[in-house]
Amino acid sequence: MTGVLLTGFEPFGGAAANPSADAVRLAADRWRGPEPLAVGILPVTFAGSGPRLRALLAEHDPEVVIAVGVAGGRSSIGVERVAVNLRDARIPDNAGAQPSSGPSVPGGPPAWFATLPVKRIVRDVRAAHIPCELSLSAGTFVCNNVFAHAMDAASARVRAGFIHVPWATGQAPHGEPELPLADIARALSIAARTALDAPDDVDEPGGTLH
Ligand code: PCA
């Protein structure tokens, strides 16, 4: 059985690279286990991303699955807490599809909570001096779509969730914030290690007032 499945995305929206793919590959290169870690790269399409993620889950049967995507404009690692069952695309995906409403998972619930220990991951990544915060929305584009499919497909035994990352150094267009790729990869390894070792979340009040 594979311990961890990490997925990243191909480039989209005219960008030459996607740090999520670079970071999951680097995290896998540096992973020392002992649990195995598998990596997959997903297409940035509404039609293809869910089936590809489901195929990877069936192939690897992981204990922990963390899907990863870039969130241009963010300066911190963002551990996503809620997947909403909604597609609304501000830009076309890589196949030209641009839905404006409707669910990612027809017949599914309106939303899911990540089953990763999200607050513990934020705490552990920050302890490594990497900026990290809890996020309440993964948006309504392909990343959130994959998050929804992950939560729908993962059995109760699997800890599943999504992490958004900033651009890696040298990649950001228009002066958007960046983080060193090594820090992004390290944050993903910490998240995987924490989810394997400590499935229960910490009991620490947080949230937002508005
Ligand atoms: N980010 C996009 C899709 C792929 C990616 O890396 C998103 O946040 O939806």
Q: Read off the pLDDT of residues 163-197 as tens digits, 9 standing for 90 and up.
A: 999 999 999 988 899 999 999 999 999 999 999 99
Q: Read off the pLDDT of residues 93-149 as tens digits, 9 standing for 90 and up.
A: 999 999 999 999 999 999 999 999 999 999 999 999 999 999 999 999 999 999 999
pTM reported for the whole predicted model: 0.96
- Report whether 80 contacts 164 (CB < 8 A): yes
Q: Which residue has the tokens 């669910």?
A: 103
* Residue whose CB lies within 8 A of the most ligand 1 atoms, among 22, 66, 141, for a mutation test: 141
- Take residue 198 and report the two structure tokens written for it: 């400590």
- Domains recognised in the chain with CATH numbers: 4-197 (3.40.630.20)
Nearest atom (ligand 1) to Cα of 143: 9
For residue 194, report the distance from its CA to the centre of ligand 1, in Å.
Answer: 24
Q: Read off the pLDDT of residues 34-55 as tens digits, 9 standing for 90 and up.
A: 999 999 999 999 999 999 999 9
The Cα–Cα gap between 210 and 203 comes to: 21
Alpha helices in 4-117 (DSSP H): 19-30, 46-60
What residue owns the CA closest to ligand 1's atom 6? 69
